[in-house]
Amino acid sequence: MTAQLNEDRKAAKRAALRALPTERREALAGILFVLPDALGLLVFIGLPMLLAIGMSAFEVDGFGGFRFVGLDNYARMAADPLFWSALRVTLTFALMAVPLLYVIGLMLALLVQKTSRFNTAMRFLFFAPQVVSLVVVALVWQLMSVEKIGVLPRLIASLGLGSVSFLGNPHVALFTVVLAFVWFLMGFYMLIFIGGLQDIPKEYYEAARIDGASRAQSFWHITLPLLRPTSFFVLVVSSVAAVSGQQAFDLVYVMTRGGPANATLLLITYIYQQAFQYGAFGYASAMATLLVLMLMAITLAFFWATRGGRFQYE
């Protein structure tokens, strides 16, 4: 009885819904379906982004008090030698890491793009570092860099290049972190490039071969231009990773904490320090705002350089 009644009520509700014009029903369903994610992204990414911009105009004390200071935090940035140093380190890091990742990722992809059992095994080896956490990666590279007894210094010594301190020497430490960063991420970009390479129609290469083009020529005139969408993606994503990503943060946090002599102090590391060690939330937010502006500029530059990441058809 009750079951029947329930069924009836449900049917009535369904009928009422169906009475709505189909378009309205579809729109209502669509909005309700995206709502949880849309709200979540808004609250946990959008809002913090806006808050960062807002907070950059305030001085925040440890007791939750706010004081409006206008552009003072930005002025403080300009006068802070450590900020300039961190900015320089961040740019150096990105200028080393992004091209290296692009070239190595593409090179590995070209080496193993054809499907064979050997290549599948090799893809597996190149991708394996990705599976391990950055904390563990950082620890392993730290161990490999231990002065005199780690693998890296011993390798250099056995090549007759003398003793190098990989994490102790300010001139080398940043490069060591870049090395670990590139090692960690290269398999990911290799896969992305393989996907891009497989999208290039084979006919183009055949046509080029018939016209007598060399391998190098078809690489420059077919592969690279047709890889533009992939290149755009790789350049933007790797720049975000290098300039403000968790990857760079995690590595530096565990490997060097920014040392020696602030040689590996990235902007994001400095922001974290200012916020969570000194409670300077306003100042940290000002630097974060600048970081986002930088990333937008970088993305636009890559968008322009890869022609909007579009294929270029004749």
Residues shown for the chain: 314
Considering only residues 250 through 269, tell me which ones interact with other proteins, judged by CB under 8 A. 250, 253-254, 268
| Smallest distance, other proteins to C-beta of residue 170, A | 21
Window contacting other proteins (CB under 8 A); options: 67-75, 84-92, 170-178, 233-241: 233-241
Q: Enumerate the β-bridge partners of residue 67.
A: 59
Residue 160: both structure tokens together: 């007759």
Count, residues near other proteins per rule CB under 8 A: 104
Q: Are 25 and 17 in contact (CB under 8 A)?
A: yes
Please give the Cα distance from 129 to 141 (Å, whole number).
12
Considering only residues 100 through 129, tell me which ones interact with other proteins, judged by CB under 8 A. 108, 111-112, 116-119, 121-129
The site string for other proteins over 172-191 (x = CB under 8 A, - otherwise) reads: -----------x--xxx--x
**Binder of other proteins out of 74, 80, 92, 146 (CB under 8 A):** 146
Three-state DSSP at 66 gives strand
Q: What is the signed CA dihedral for 180, 181, 186, 189, rounded to 10 degrees? A: 170
Q: Are 169 and 145 in contact (CB under 8 A)?
A: no
Residue 209: both structure tokens together: 């071969």
Q: Is 295 in the site for other proteins (CB under 8 A)?
A: yes
| Smallest distance, other proteins to C-beta of residue 178, A | 15
- Backbone angles phi and psi of 68, in degrees to 5: -70, 125
Considering only residues 201 through 220, tell me which ones interact with other proteins, judged by CB under 8 A. none
Q: Is 48 in the site for other proteins (CB under 8 A)?
A: yes
Q: Are 153 and 164 in contact (CB under 8 A)?
A: yes
Window contacting other proteins (CB under 8 A); options: 50-58, 74-82, 95-103, 218-226: 50-58
Window contacting other proteins (CB under 8 A); options: 70-78, 82-90, 161-169, 237-245: 237-245
